[in-house]
Chains A and B, each alone.
Chain A
């Protein structure tokens, strides 16, 4: 080797492949204000749509009079259910097997439900006309408490299906019942509880929240009457699914529908589903022959599209006196609002909530879920988590703390005692999952050592004594949470959306100069896919990441995929990326051997080239091979260097982590200060540590928001209270704690590069960690469970009830 020959290390570094803190390619446009979001789009002749919405939570529509509204200058048309009904578009199918009203026909079922769609030349004219549409209502009794949904005398909410005894997921027990779902060994669990030395039982409720991305849901629909083609630009986390659904609903052939998701300003689950705004915009464009833009405002966003959680989990653990868990029993009452529009894989009406055994070796467990209708907005999306996994993690992590309290054990010690051991992986859980890999004890120990856990507990004891002596008004809480996520949906044997298996895809084309374009079935909403997929490809193909363009979101050009949510991009599309690249490398190997005039078995891969075994100076770089693919392929071989892979994952991936949080609670103001938050994540192989850290920061901040303040509340008459940023808690830089991040690496054994996904872990682990910290502060005073959100008022109220205000 002479001086000018780059070393292997230099060649590898030049690729900016796996494991490197590559700066994001997306940022160049974003920092200059040159992102391309839906609302930035302006088409010639474009007009605007806006909704008339219900002021009532439950009411009969007596009359809609749009005469005055139609007289507003610039108003083109006003759509109501009566216009959509002849087209069979007044209802749309939901992902959960229910239907949802696009425009309310006879009744409204939640406040701010869509009643009419005004189409006008300008957004201002549309807004003016919305005010002038006169709707006469007769108000009806309202259900906002899910525990009252199935009362014998409860009002009928869904008249359209009231006599249907079979729902999409089996028998319905009541006219306001949606489904019953249960998993596990009911009798075996009952036996475990009968034999148990110690049991705990607690109703653990996870409040209704909303993902609230900074950009709301929006679209532009444009129907070309001459070609009979529809183009829809929209904030879609799953553009291909939207196209298929649009085709099934509209009967426009799928190849004549073009769905384009441009840059998306955050999704967090809000932008998975289909909403009435999309359907109305499409209809409006077909009717008027002009492009129609619909943009939600913030109040519409928080009150009508995609709530999350609203799970009420009655949780019981059976255990031995020395703290070994012997059984878990959970019953969930799931409030789905007025329509079952949950965005779960079709066969999973309660998502993957059966991950509720968490990180612990429960010999037996049972979970039952009842979904019910209420007069609240539909949704039930996975807000920065895999399907219902934050609910499960919050449930088990609170319950383990409550058990520790009852046993008089340290919560970390109880967890260590019951963790699934490293040698038990792949591990079959009592509720049906096969966990791929894990090393929980190592992660927990590292977390405890780093924060100085034992010393913190000593300090807490001293402070509790000082509090009792009246020397301080602050309580110290230490929150411990250990979560196991289940992400990467999913294997075709059990995961589909409306019959389409939840694979994902990557198509790679290598051009003659060695430049690459890769197209994906997923869609970034800020995760940095253009940067990280290129890193996987760089390592697999030996081509610098800077020479690889990654494109997503255009259904005309991208291979079919199920989109980005549930941390599935890395586990599924990331795997497809590696597998497609490996097809290319196999062909490249044959071309290289041909060029080097040796057998393909006599060449070997070396970072960015194939070389002749034993003669490293005889090689062909991938760049040379790319050129040859277009002019000197072996006889009989097709020219070109392209591949596509549709990856059907053999299993989910199971990222995990150990989080520890220290808070100080002022009992007189209810204010909780986060002193320290340490997050150790194990997401398997790490693709870009900078982006992983950014994802963890962001997920923890959303966890902080949920645990400490977010709640979508309804009053007893069905009014949604506070659906704007005046009331809905989005933390600023001032409240947001500082985050300490750490990691262990336990690769997934079934993923081509061992990666597991990370974007949602911090939300899943963060929420119970904060909740456990606040609860931990109060537990020495006899408190067992305080519900979220832990805002100042609620915390002050707890202190008041405990008699701490003298």
Chain B
């Protein structure tokens, strides 16, 4: 199949590649760029395990072609940590609050939460729950994920969380 030239920025680095037009963005990221943090859970954009940040929006990279991301600025879980390599407040929060178990949804969940905290810097519990409704978790029951995001929101904004998760 004929290939198409694409160029984009991924985690701050310029990337150029030749891809089949039908290559999904998630396969491009995982297999061409070896960014295996985002996962594939459903292929129908329900579970959110493949969530990446694209031009300032959370997108599900399993239902988007790589060619559609031509020219885009993409952030994946691999680009979330602080510049000095230390854990981002969200990554720290997920560990502190036991916001993960099997870890499969975690990269998508953190990437989504990262965008959410830019949309709403100090979200209420309800805003967090609605904000991550596109990301499914089968292990945690979400309660500790909510706490993890509140932990990060408080740390990043310097304002204590609006309400506790319990």
Residues of A within 8 A of B (CB): 23-24, 26-35, 37, 39-40, 42, 123-124, 212-216, 263-266, 268, 295, 297-298, 525-528, 690-691, 693-695, 697-698, 700-702, 724-726, 730, 732-734, 736, 738-740
Contacts and interface: CB of A to CB of B under 8 A. Distances in A.
B144 to A, nearest CB: 6
* B interface secondary structure, majority: loop
A694 B148 CA distance: 13
Among A33, A298, A740, max chain B CB count under 10 A is at: A33
Interface in B123-166: 128-130, 132-146, 165-166
Interface stretch (B2-10, B38-46, B64-72): B38-46
Contact of B139 (A32, A37, A40, A698): A698
Contacts of B105: 214
Contacts of B128: 733
Interface in B57-98: 76-78, 80-81, 87, 90-92, 94-96, 98
B102 A725 contact: no
Given A265-B102, A265-B103, A698-B138, 11 more contacts: A27-B94, A30-B106, A39-B36, A215-B39, A263-B103, A690-B98, A697-B142, A701-B140, A738-B143, A739-B141, A740-B166
Interface residues of B, number: 62
Contacts of A732: 129, 132-136, 142
Contact of B143 (A29, A525, A739): A739
Q: Max chain A CB contacts within 10 Å: which of B23, B103, B106, B129?
A: B103
A726 B46 contact: yes
Instruction: Pick the most buried of B31, B40, B42, B166: most chain A CB atoms within 10 A of its CB.
Output: B42
B47 interface: yes
Contacts of A265: 39, 41, 102-104
B162 to A, nearest CB: 16
Contacts of A700: 141
7 contacts: A31-B94, A32-B37, A33-B76, A35-B104, A693-B98, A724-B44, A732-B133
Q: Which of A32, A526, A701 has the most CB of B within 10 A?
A: A32
B22 interface: yes
Contacts of B78: 32-33
B100 interface: yes
Nearest to B137: A214
Given A297-B43, A732-B136, A214 B142 contact: no
A23 B132 CA distance: 24
Nearest to B78: A33
B130 to A, nearest CB: 6
A24 B95 contact: yes
B103 A526 contact: yes
Contact of B102 (A213, A298, A724): A213
Contacts of A33: 35-38, 76-78, 106-107
Given A31-B87, A265-B104, A298-B44, A702 B76 contact: no
B95 to A, nearest CB: 4
A215 B20 contact: no
Contact of B138 (A268, A691, A739): A268
Contacts of B96: 23
B49 interface: yes
B98 A24 contact: yes
A726 B145 contact: no
A128 to B, nearest CB: 10
A738 B77 CA distance: 28
A54 to B, nearest CB: 21
A214 B95 contact: no
Contacts of B117: none
